[in-house]
Amino acid sequence: MKIGFIGLGNMGAPMAANLVAAGHEVTGFDVAGVTVEGVAQAGSAAEAASGCDAVITMLPNGQILRDVYAQIVPAGQAGAVFIDCSTVDVDSAREAAITAEDAGLLPVDAPVSGGVGGAAAGTLTFMVGGSDKAFAKAQPLFEIMGQKAVHCGPPGNGQAAKICNNMILGITMIGTCEAFALADKLGLDRQAMFDVVSTSSGYSWSMNAYCPAPGVGPQSPADNDYKPGFAAALMLKDLRLSQQAAESAGAITQMGGRATEIYERFVEMDEEGRDFSAILPWLSDPAKV
């Protein structure tokens, strides 16, 4: 395919590189002037999208997505699939999809899970909203950039799946960190705590795969001074999106709301830009809670 790729940041750059390695012709554009080996550089987003079979965007927020779509949709080739891999609010995703559909394009919102490591390794999971036809056309590209793509329904449902998943993640990480902090106060060894919980009803991804306690369980950012695998600021972004969606839909998400408040306080006080699991050492200082 001839592919336009707009947004060559920490996630977009390795995703574009994997498409090049698979033999696709990729033209990229990034407002910061980032270049990727093998990716031709366009002078604008519209130029990158022009005449392409597929256009992929990886952008910071919904407003930028809407602004970029205003530029690239008129340049799109009829029948092209427009794949937005950004994590944005559901309303922006659906608005972008309508804009593209009205122009004869095939839009999908396809936010990802797997982080920078997954982008580089081509092991991302895509949560996809869009028509069956659009999903089918995008599927071969998902297979290059990731290991799994789940069709979640019509436009916007990919974003809905992403924010629901990450709301669970934010809540369970806080619960996991609070449990370790309580175990410390009660004199329970962290390894013993892990050995019990990881094989009992407290089992979770936050405990078993991404344990926030250094030296316990598999390797995680906790074992690297909490340098971010998934920055707390990004978790806060997703939690805020979940609460925005909950308010719009009239859903009750009390735990999600409380998790958002806790991460807001943590991010405000954390000057190092640490991983979202660094909630654990933060809880050990009562003055900060």
CB neighbour list of residue 281: distance below 8 Å, 6 or more residues apart: 226
Phi, psi at residue 197, to the nearest 5°?
-65, -40
Residue-wise over 88-101: b if at least 16 C-beta within 10 A, else e? bbbebbbbbbebbb
Q: What count of residues does the chain have? A: 289
CA atoms within 13 A on the CB side of 70: 7
| Structure-block tokens of residue 287 | 């003055």
Q: Which amino acid does the sequence have at 16?
A: A
Burial of 112 (0-12, 13-18, 19+ CB in 10 A): buried
Catalytic residue among 133, 162, 185, 288: 162
DSSP label at 81?
E
* CA distance linking residue 277 with residue 213, whole number of Å: 9
| Structure-block tokens of residue 213 | 């306690």
Tell me if residue 137 is catalytic: no
Asked if residue 259 lies in contact with residue 170, where contact means CB atoms within 8 angstroms, the answer is yes
* CA distance linking residue 141 with residue 63, whole number of Å: 25
Asked if residue 221 lies in contact with residue 228, where contact means CB atoms within 8 angstroms, the answer is yes
- Positions marked catalytic: 162
